[in-house]
Amino acid sequence: MNESVDFLKGTLDLMILKTLSWAPTHGYGIARWIEHCTGDVLQVEEGSLYPALHKLEERGLIAAEWGISEHNRRAKFYRLTTAGKKQLLAAHDSWARFADAVFKVLRTAPASH
Amino acid sequence: MNESVDFLKGTLDLMILKTLSWAPTHGYGIARWIEHCTGDVLQVEEGSLYPALHKLEERGLIAAEWGISEHNRRAKFYRLTTAGKKQLLAAHDSWARFADAVFKVLRTAPASH
DNA sequence: TGTATATACCTCGGAGTCCTAGGTAAGCTT
DNA sequence: AAGCTTACCTAGGACTCCGAGGTATATACA
């Protein structure tokens, strides 16, 4: 995950959850989707993606099932669990508040005196 | 740096640089300013702040000078260097593009078909 | 006078995240 | 048959943040 250098942290989890909120998707497809809908501003590295998926699964936020991809290949499809849906809402809200706070720092000028 | 849990990474550097763009400020004051203008949404921990300042100084983006604070205490005042000003512009732009990309993932619905 | 509080600095070590670099395997195209 | 794309995986290093600890001084207050 790069280009925009170094921000991001936890944001990957959020974007994975959001992507899965539309439909169950396999890891490779999640990466392609994120890249596609950000116009390649965000690159999802496999070395970040798969460990992140495994941790989300461990935490019970997503569940996996093997299946066959649209390209006729073996693929692991992930879906949101109930806990995952709840977590997505919380994380979305949390991100919005965080981003808003950062923008405040970037915009707020000290009171003149 | 917390409350909004876990995002943030590199964002601290950006906010430090931005704070210093208004006026030279000591570390403690930087932390208080960020907390103040985000309405305490972002907490700046000293264990994050001081190492970050030292690294920015090492990288030549800020410069330090000992002085006396508004509370009559010994304090290290940091100011942006020329390289720091340049870096601030780049990081600001980078953050804006990153945040925009994340919001795109949070908002974009897959094309129906 | 002594003590508490706020100001102001610092570092160590752990936890967590991302990425580079490597690997496997199978389907499709040429 | 070779090469590309799809699809998965992990190990290890680099880095960042934070909790917890520490030092020191000015001011307020009892």
Q: What is the pLDDT of residues A79-112, one digit of tens each?
A: 999 999 999 999 999 999 999 999 999 999 887 5
Q: Can you say whether the dihedral through the CA atoms of A102, A106, A108, B1 is positive or negative?
A: positive
Rounded Cα distance, B77 and B67, in Å: 7
Positions of chain B with pLDDT lower than 50, given as ranges: 1-5, 113
> Residue A69 sits in which domain range?
11-107
Looking at the structure of chain B, the number of domains it has is: 1
Measure CB to CB from residue A18 to each of B9, B33, B106 and give the nearest one: B106
Specify if A19 maps to a domain.
yes
Residue to substitute from B6, B42, B44, B89, interface A, most A β-carbons within 10 A: B6
Given this model, what pLDDT does residue B46 score? Answer: 96
Q: Any residues with CB less than 8 A from the CB of B35 and at least 6 apart, and which?
A: B42, B43, B44
Q: What CATH number does residue A60 fall under?
A: 1.10.10.10
Q: What is the pLDDT of residues B48-64, one digit of tens each?
A: 999 999 999 999 999 99
Single-letter code of the amino acid located at A100: D
Protein residues closer than 7 Å by CB to strand D: A 6, 26-29, 46-47, 50-51, 53-54, 69-71, 73-77; B 1-2, 8-13, 43-48, 51-52, 55, 71-74
Specify if B2 maps to a domain.
no
Q: What is the pLDDT of residues A41-59, one digit of tens each?
A: 999 999 999 999 999 999 9
Within an 8 Å CB–CB cutoff, is residue A102 touching chain B? yes
Specify if A3 maps to a domain.
no
Rounded Cα distance, A24 and A79, in Å: 5
